[in-house]
Structure 1
Amino acid sequence: MSSRGTSFRDRIREPEYTGENRCVPCTVLNVALAAALTVASAAFGPVAAAAVLVASLGSIYYRGYLVPGTPELTKRYLPDRVLRLFGKAPEGPRDGWEEAGRSGEVTVTTFEADQSADGVTEVDAGSAAEVSDGSADEAEDRSAEQTEESPADDEPEFETVERIRDQRENAVDPTELLLDIGVVEPTEDGADLVFEEEFADAVESRVSSLERADVRAETLAEMFGVSPDDVAFEDREYPAVTVLRRVRKWPGDGAYLADVAAHLALVERTDRWLDVPAEQRLSILQSLRSFLSSCPVCGGEVAATADTVESCCMAHEVIAIRCEGCGEHVLELEPEKIATPGEDTGITP
């Protein structure tokens, strides 16, 4: 009897939606539906109500849901803010800043200006992305207001305000700067911009000799404009570092090493690079990845694609520039950050 009971339970159980794979939002929704059905069935008597409750909870326990297709329903109808309460929203692009998310940490810093003011990027399967200036005044104003409300514990308020002022007063025109120092140059027809050959060689040379483990905290600190003590490497499957109280992440080793290599090449090329506000430097480095003609990891061709990022309850698209050979992601962007042709958003190389 026990064997037959176990066999029956095994037949009805769906491991895809139970145990470690159980979806909390789906379970909450289904329990609410079970309660509603129980209340409705009470009109037929307490026995009927008890039977409905037991059957409903049994279905939720063994199958993970009461209503078939619940995971698809939650993807379609539950708002993002509800899913994020349960940690079920997909991570989104692994590119740029994210909140550290540790208990008690203040997550608003001047680097939020960089996250908010990255600008928009035009991506084409046959061309690279624009260079974002990362210096929108409105984003800076929002960051300043937020920082005044809750300055980071390890970054005095006056330093935070100084960083925002530096961003506003010393931001450069990225197109003008990169053309002036010979990082990019117009194509023969003048329609696009590409890496200047010598600079492209310098970046490629550094990328080919670097591994993730080779990158030192001192180099990243110079990139971010902070002290080496303010940089901590995160243990993730993709490159990520905590800078002060925010996490900077990259979609893969190729993107990470490309940023580091471009930074080192720019430092060697001109003293003006380190005079660019740190937040804007990071935006420029991210945009420069789209000028790469080959994969930093395997040397294969790169192209823009639309990828779907999913969790059990949610799915959305990101635009990825990835290697067609090894699949390495060089750049990831939210679709809403993609410019439509004709928008005055910067340069389109």
Structure 2
Amino acid sequence: MKAARIMEPQKALEISDVPTPHPKDNEVLVKVKAVGVCHSDLHLWEGGYDTGDGFMKVTDRGVKFPVIPGHEIVGTVSEIGSSVQGIAVGDNVLVYPWIGCGNCVACRVGNDNLCDAPRSMGVFQNGGYAEYALVPHFKFLAKVTGIDLDGAASLACSGLTAYTAVKKSNATSQHNMVIFGAGGLGLMGVQIARAITNANIIIVDIDDAKLQAAKELGADHMVNSKDPDAVQKIMSLCNGKGADCVIDFVNAPPTVKMGLAVIRKRGIMTLVGLFGGSIDLSLVSIPLKAITIQGAYTGNYNDMIELLNLAKRGVINPIVSKRYSLSDANTALEDLKSRKILGRAIINP
């Protein structure tokens, strides 16, 4: 099969023929229809993350190269192992990629995404930048009907991450919600917040075109963070009291600082993005304002099913703005890095 592999960090992906895997026991082989191009793929390609105290290599987390990236995988079942149940050849499926060890405390309660020793597809094992992807167990598949397959791909990561962030922000009880970032995550977050909350949604970004897209998808107000009066404008839109919840899909020093500046007493701040860096934090303000600062990292399999059902009902509409062939995988990553993509890009192997 054709596959695009990261041979080593910061080197062009190698697109070549590799052996097509064949499933055994509980395994399932999926013919990839579409795979999302995610910022996490960029971090894998770049070899790590800016922690604020230095550069954390992905190899220190257990990543081994070469690896086929791509964790937002949707496709058609091509072959099944001898022990597979409930899944048949020809089924259209969405892959849950956040595969855990199955034994740790998180995995035992179904939170594979928070596993102590993750085996995520497209990170720790080969993913979907290929014509076929081998899924290690049929329980990580969800049948897809009634929605566009290309759009469904993003539900496994960007959609799932946004959904979990909105849920973790206790958004059903919040009135003023500030969302930082109108990229793929943020645009999905706006749709989800509009669908499951009654919040006054304020979207913040540096790009007017992306802000306008967010407004069309359900944001009530938009603020360009480059505006020197951005903090005052956000506070005014929150009736001067500040935001009940802040969801930061960028999670860079400037956005976190602005989020802390606009959050109200008892507010909830959810940090999602992996931009990296660090900030100086006024420690006394945390207890005095009784705010909660928390992280959100994708979601579990059941969250993905809930999100898939929202898409089937037409409540949310995943946005695919660019499509690439497998041979253009390097271009896709470069375009994402250069902020040339509105919504989500996919590769169609």
The TM-score range, normalised by the shorter chain, is: under 0.3
| TM-score, scaled relative to structure 2 | 0.24
| TM-score, scaled relative to structure 1 | 0.24
Higher relative contact order (CA 8 A, sep 6+): 1
More strand by share: 2
